[in-house]
Chain A
Amino acid sequence: GAGVSQSPRYKVAKRGQDVALRCDPISGHVSLFWYQQALGQGPEFLTYFQNEAQLDKSGLPSDRFFAERPEGSVSTLKIQRTQQEDSAVYLCASSFLHQQGPYGYTFGSGTRLTVV
């Protein structure tokens, strides 16, 4: 597609419920990132994939958060036993793989997760 597509756009979950958030990156983009954006804050890094390999998951806040990209394209961010503090916008971004030079992520519009 022309851009990064995320679904659902909005998700309301009861505390303790498991959720799965989907990201369809731009075709051909090797790199895929997940970020968490709390209200009034900048995006915070969660995890990074290069193709199907998860190279950095240092930003995942707890073992309740899990991300996968099994075929190097679509990615899913799963949150188990959701807590109120998980309420945020979850952003996915993708890019070509460049070792140097200017480039930028292309972000999706995000999934707004509200835990009640």
Chain B
Amino acid sequence: QQQVKQSPQSLIVQKGGISIINCAYENTAFDYFPWYQQFPGKGPALLIAIRPDVSEKKEGRFTISFNKSAKQFSLHIMDSQPGDSATYFCAARGGYQKVTFGIGTKLQVIP
């Protein structure tokens, strides 16, 4: 049972373009929605996060948009750079601080 659905699974964007990753969830008990970035051979690292009572959060080139009524949220990476090439996971926090992850999006930014 996939509680957090993520798409696309892979994404190729040109340098300077906008990368967009979408996620949807079912469990309305989730209370916190982080995004993680993972490079090969490393563990996921927290990138940016949002609470469900906020519709948008921006940190540098990274923006989360959150639609509580639709139970959807997305990550936008502005001015994408080759160094952004990594796998991105959306996630949702539930009981006992347990975080449920999406399947991941492998982003490749080409020069």
Contacts and interface: CB of A to CB of B under 8 A. Distances in A.
Nearest to B57: A102
Interface string B31-59: 11010100001111110010100000000
Given A41-B103, A41-B104, A42-B89, A95 B43 contact: no
Contact of A109 (B41, B46, B104): B41
B79 to A, nearest CB: 24
A65 interface: no
A42 B103 contact: yes
Interface stretch (B12-20, B69-77, B93-101): B93-101
B51 A102 contact: yes
Given A43-B44, A102-B32, A108-B43, A48 B97 contact: yes
Nearest to B106: A40
B104 A48 contact: no
Interface string A73-100: 0000000000000000001010101101
A110 B97 contact: no
A4 interface: yes
A107 B45 contact: yes
Contacts of A42: 6, 89, 91, 101-104
Nearest to B45: A107
A37 B96 CA distance: 20
Nearest to A42: B101
A18 interface: no
Interface string A12-41: 000000000000000000010101000011
A109 B99 contact: no
B49 A104 contact: yes
Nearest to A91: B43
Interface of B: 6, 31-32, 34, 36, 41-46, 49, 51, 89, 91, 95-104
